[in-house]
Amino acid sequence: MLKRMSIRWSLVIPVKTLVAAKTRLAAATGPHRTKFAVAVAGDTVAAALACPPVARVIVVTADPAAAGPLAALGADVVPDPDRGLNTALRTGAAHAVRVAPGDAVGALQADLPALRPAELAVALSAAAEFDQSFVPDALDVGTTFYGVRPGVAFTPRFGGESRAKHLAGGAKELCVPGIDSVRRDVDTPDDLRAAVALGLGPRTAAVVAELWPAAER
CB 10 within 8 A of CB 58: yes
162 is in an annotated binding site: yes
29 is in an annotated binding site: no
Using DSSP bridges, classify how beta strands 76-79 and 143-148 pair: parallel, antiparallel or unpaired. Answer: unpaired
With CA atoms as reference, report the closest residue to 13 among 43, 35, 45, 47.
Answer: 45
Q: What is the dihedral of CA 55, 61, 66, 72, to 10 degrees?
A: 30
* Distance of alpha carbon 129 from alpha carbon 153, whole angstroms: 16
HSE-up of residue 152 (Cα within 13 Å, Cβ side): 21
61 is in an annotated binding site: no
With CA atoms as reference, report the closest residue to 54 among 152, 128, 130.
Answer: 128
Residues within the annotated binding site?
A: 143, 159, 162
For the annotated binding site for phosphoenolpyruvate, the residues are 143, 159, 162
